[in-house]
Amino acid sequence: MRRRYIALFLLLFGFWLVIAGEADWEHILVGAVVALVTVWLWKDLVPQIPVSLSARGIMLFGRCLSTLIWSIVDSAISVTKTVVFGKPPVKPVMLTVRPALETNWGRVFLGNCITLTPGSVTIDINPETGVFTIHALNPEIAEGLCSWKIIDEIRALELWGKERVIHAPAAGGSYGVDSFGTLASDHGSDGS
């Protein structure tokens, strides 16, 4: 268990050093404090962090990430054409979609992917039904969202997570790789 706390601290502290861009004592001190506080705040979640990643998990996540990066570049070009040349014209569209995702983390991940991609914004995700409300810049972008390849890749990540169930008795139950498989309805009204 202690190794997980140390690994999370090192990961967060390393990330801090990368984004800080400087390694003077002030940045190092602030990064260490922020990483320690974050680990302390996440103490209930640490038992649910996987001990190791498999090659398949890394491959699935890498494929998902590369698809997202390609979509961001492609959408940026499309939005630039729309704004600069007016083709296709700006015709805002609100749509509701229910992708075949079962977990809350998969839905949140997809919502973030939609928002990160230029020309679309996730307005709402209904946690009970999994219905997304999305704003798109034009109908072409809206059509692309309905058949977006990343939905299938996130679904593959969800299925991989179900295969890797771990038990975390210190946290009081069984969880998937990171317990994102739990739904709001899994918890009692008192938040337990």
Domain for residue 176, yes or no?
no
φ/ψ region of 127 (left if φ > 0, alpha if ψ in -120 to 50, else beta) reads alpha
Report the pLDDT value the prediction gives residue 98, as an integer from 0 to 100.
Answer: 93
Domain for residue 186, yes or no?
no
- pLDDT at residue 46 is higher than 80: no
Report the pLDDT value the prediction gives residue 186, as an integer from 0 to 100.
Answer: 47
Mean pLDDT taken over the chain: 81
For residues 65 and 95, state if they share a domain: yes
CA atoms of 47 and 63, how far apart (whole Å): 27
- Residue indicated by tokens 């939005």: 79
Residue 177, token pair as written in the block: 């790789």
Work out how many domains the chain is built from and give that number: 2
For residues 60 and 155, state if they share a domain: yes
Domain for residue 165, yes or no?
no
- pLDDT at residue 54 is higher than 80: no
**Cβ(115)–Cβ(107) below 8 Å:** no
For residues 89 and 137, state if they share a domain: yes
- pLDDT at residue 28 is higher than 70: yes
Report the pLDDT value the prediction gives residue 52, as an integer from 0 to 100.
Answer: 58
Q: What is the dihedral of CA 12, 14, 18, 22, to 10 degrees?
A: 110
Whether this prediction's pTM lies above 0.75 is answered by no
65-122: pLDDT as tens digits? 999 999 999 999 999 998 899 888 899 999 999 999 988 888 989 999 999 999 999 9
Structural domain containing residue 102:
55-159
For residues 65 and 154, state if they share a domain: yes
168, β-bridge pairs: 173
Residue 156's identity, in one-letter code, is A
CA atoms of 115 and 80, how far apart (whole Å): 17
- pLDDT at residue 185 is higher than 60: no
For residues 17 and 90, state if they share a domain: no
Q: What SS3 class is residue 96?
A: strand
Domain for residue 37, yes or no?
yes
For residues 32 and 62, state if they share a domain: no
For residues 92 and 139, state if they share a domain: yes
For residues 145 and 84, state if they share a domain: yes
